[in-house]
Structures are given as structure tokens and as C-alpha cells.
């Protein structure tokens, strides 16, 4: 299934993509694409629906983030060895964990805003993992049973805030609009192997990132299991699993986003995002 949210910011409604690529309204079935809607029993109920019986959304307009009510937005750093190399950093021995503020979450095609005093706003296409069942001290072998589905994430980052000022990475990752999610959440049953997905990103029509989840240092099952040793994962939590090489920081000389730029990105089977870059307030 492809689950999504559509409508103006703060007024999004839940939807599902039917077999013909049309959006059907799920408002009469679930209140939103959030915690309880992502439980295995709810997803099973949604999978059994006759989608043709649901209201057709002829003009969905804006797409919102594909997950609502996110409790934790967890990110994994340096999870592609070639990206670590371009950043001049060692491949870690275990996953590097940092958090992204949930206030950064926005729709997949919303504007990306360059924050005040930013000089190094950068792009990162990443595989997002959405939790669907409580995970606490789970094994790697059972980890994927706790995943509801997957989505595209643009882990927008301000590199000066992230690495050149004191403190941790979170403040370089958490500005408003720094977390586009979607266009939809693709349920786990549709993704045979999350480690076999091609991914890409372009800026102003020029290909910057070409990669694949095949080259992750730590795969999705390892990440979910590892995180569950340190915190309980809840339905609706989102994990962004790292980016392949080709970010602005790694270019010689480095190139960063500026107002007027356009970003396009996508992951095989998970859809595409398109964002205009604007100056924030």
C-alpha cells in the first residue's frame, strides 16, 4: 500500500493510492496516518479494503508529510562509507545516532527554507524507515517485523551549524522545512528488500547523488535493532538511515543551496520529491 496525507498544512487528511494511481480518501477509516494507523492490525484492515468503494480525491492539492504525529525523528550519520570519505570522517564501528526536531517535518514538495544566518545549507537523499510496532531490545532477525513501511527523506542540513559550532549535530539538522517526508509511506510488504533500492538527487537539473541502499554500512534491520537497545521505538517514529555521496559539502569546492535553487530526489519504489529553495524568515 501507498499511504499519504493531503491538504493544507495543519489540515491534512489521510489517503491511499489505488491500483490506477488515484488517491482515495481514508478519513472514514482512520483519523490520520499516525501511530495507531500504523499498527500491524490496522494495516491489515486497510489492505483488505475495496479501494474503489472509497471516495475519490480528484484534486488533492498539496501533499503533507506522509506520517503525522511523529514522536521521534532519529537519524543515522555516516552510514555510507563513500559519504564518510567525502566528509573526511572515519566509518563508524556502530551506528552514529542523532535527532532531528519533529518541527522540521514538512511535505515532500513544500519549499525548503534557508534559515537565518545560514551559509552552508546542504541536501541529503535518505531512506526513511517508519516504525509500526513497539520495538524494545529486539534482535536483528526480528527487527523488520517492527517496521510499518518506508519513505523518501531529504535530510536537509546546515553544515556550519552542524560541524563548525559547538554542540551536537542536531542544531544543524532541525530548522523548519529541513525534513521533507514522502510523497507516501510504502508499506513493508511492498518492499521485498530495503537493501536493494536505488536513490538519486538533482539540484537545478544536475545529478548530484547517485546511490543505492546496497552500500549502507549498517542495514535497516541492524539499525532498528541497535536503536531499540537504547530507546523504545513507537509506531510513527521515523528513522532516516543516512545518505550516499554527492552532498554539497563533498564537492570541490563545496557548493551549497541558495534561494531560487530547485531540488528533485527519489528512491526506487518510494516516489519522488520536488522542492524550491527560498530564504526563510
Mean pLDDT of 227-248: 97
Residue 19 makes CB contacts below 8 A (sequence gap 6+) with 51
Q: Does residue 142 sit in helix, strand or coil?
A: helix
- Residue 168, pLDDT score: 83
For the cut 90, the answer to whether the pLDDT of residue 237 exceeds it is yes
Radius of gyration of the chain (CA): 18
Confidence of residue 264 (pLDDT cuts 50, 70, 90): very high
For the cut 80, the answer to whether the pLDDT of residue 105 exceeds it is yes
H-assigned helices in the chain:
40-47, 81-86, 140-143, 159, 220-228
Confidence of residue 76 (pLDDT cuts 50, 70, 90): very high
The helix (run of H) or strand (run of E) holding residue 21 is none
- Residue 244, pLDDT score: 95
Domain 73-279 superfamily per CATH: Fumarylacetoacetase-like, C-terminal domain (3.90.850.10)
pLDDT tens profile 169-202? 999 999 999 999 999 999 999 999 999 999 999 9
Mean pLDDT of 253-278: 98
- Residue 167, pLDDT score: 80
- Residue 20, pLDDT score: 96
For the cut 80, the answer to whether the pLDDT of residue 239 exceeds it is yes
Mean pLDDT of 224-233: 98
- Residue 83, pLDDT score: 78
Separation between Cα atoms, residue 72 and residue 131, nearest integer Å: 10
Confidence of residue 87 (pLDDT cuts 50, 70, 90): confident
Q: Does residue 47 sit in helix, strand or coil?
A: helix
Domain ranges of the chain: 2-57, 73-279
Mean pLDDT of 249-260: 96
For the cut 80, the answer to whether the pLDDT of residue 139 exceeds it is yes
For the cut 90, the answer to whether the pLDDT of residue 81 exceeds it is no
Confidence of residue 86 (pLDDT cuts 50, 70, 90): confident
CB 257 within 8 A of CB 248: yes
Q: How far does CA 252 lie from the centroid of its chain?
A: 27
Average pLDDT, the chain: 96
Separation between Cα atoms, residue 67 and residue 73, nearest integer Å: 11
- Residue 166, pLDDT score: 80
Percent of the chain with pLDDT over 70: 100
Mean pLDDT of 215-242: 98
Q: How far does CA 237 lie from the centroid of its chain?
A: 11
Residue with cell 537523499: 125
- Residue 41, pLDDT score: 97
The helix (run of H) or strand (run of E) holding residue 130 is strand 125-131
Residue 255, number of CB atoms within 10 A of its CB = 18
For the cut 90, the answer to whether the pLDDT of residue 280 exceeds it is yes
Phi, psi (deg, nearest 5) at residue 166:
-65, 155
Cell of 22: 488515484
| 82 vs 112, higher pLDDT | 112
Amino acid at each position: 500500500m501507498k499511504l499519504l496525507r493531503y491538504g493544507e498544512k495543519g489540515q491534512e487528511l489521510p489517503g491511499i493510492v489505488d491500483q490506477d494511481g488515484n488517491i482515495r480518501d481514508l478519513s472514514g477509516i482512520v483519523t490520520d496516518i499516525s501511530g495507531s494507523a500504523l499498527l500491524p492490525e490496522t494495516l491489515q484492515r486497510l489492505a483488505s479494503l475495496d479501494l474503489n468503494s472509497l471516495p475519490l480525491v480528484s484534486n488533492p492539492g498539496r501533499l503533507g508529510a506522509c506520517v503525522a504525529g511523529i514522536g521521534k525523528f532519529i537519524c543515522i550519520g555516516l552510514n555510507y562509507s563513500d559519504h564518510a570519505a567525502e566528509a573526511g570522517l572515519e566509518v563508524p564501528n556502530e551506528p552514529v545516532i542523532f535527532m532531528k526536531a519533529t518541527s522540521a517535518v514538512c511535505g515532500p514538495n513544500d519549499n525548503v527554507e534557508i534559515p537565518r544566518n545560514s551559509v552552508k545549507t546542504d541536501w541529503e537523499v535518505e531512506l526513511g524507515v517508519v516504525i509500526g510496532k513497539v520495538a524494545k531490545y529486539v534482535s536483528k532477525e526480528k527487527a523488520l517485523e517492527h517496521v510499518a513501511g518506508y519513505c523518501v527523506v531529504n535530510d536537509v542540513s546546515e553544515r556550519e551549524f552542524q560541524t563548525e559550532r559547538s554542540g551536537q549535530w542536531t542544531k544543524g539538522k532541525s530548522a523548519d522545512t529541513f525534513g521533507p517526508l514522502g510523497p507516501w509511506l510504502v508499506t513493508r510488504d511492498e518492499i521485498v528488500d530495503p537493501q536493494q533500492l536505488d536513490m538519486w538527487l538533482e539540484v537545478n537539473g544536475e545529478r548530484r547523488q547517485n546511490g543505492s541502499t546496497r552500500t549502507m554500512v549498517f542495514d535497516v534491520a541492524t539499525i532498528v535493532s541497535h536503536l531499540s537497545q537504547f530507546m523504545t521505538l513507537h509506531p510513527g517514529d521515523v528513522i532516516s538511515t543516512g545518505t550516499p555521496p554527492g552532498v554539497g559539502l563533498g564537492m570541490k569546492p563545496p557548493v551549497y543551496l541558495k534561494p531560487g535553487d530547485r531540488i528533485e530526489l527519489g528512491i526506487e519504489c518510494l516516489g519522488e520529491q520536488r522542492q524550491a529553495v527560498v530564504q526563510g524568515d
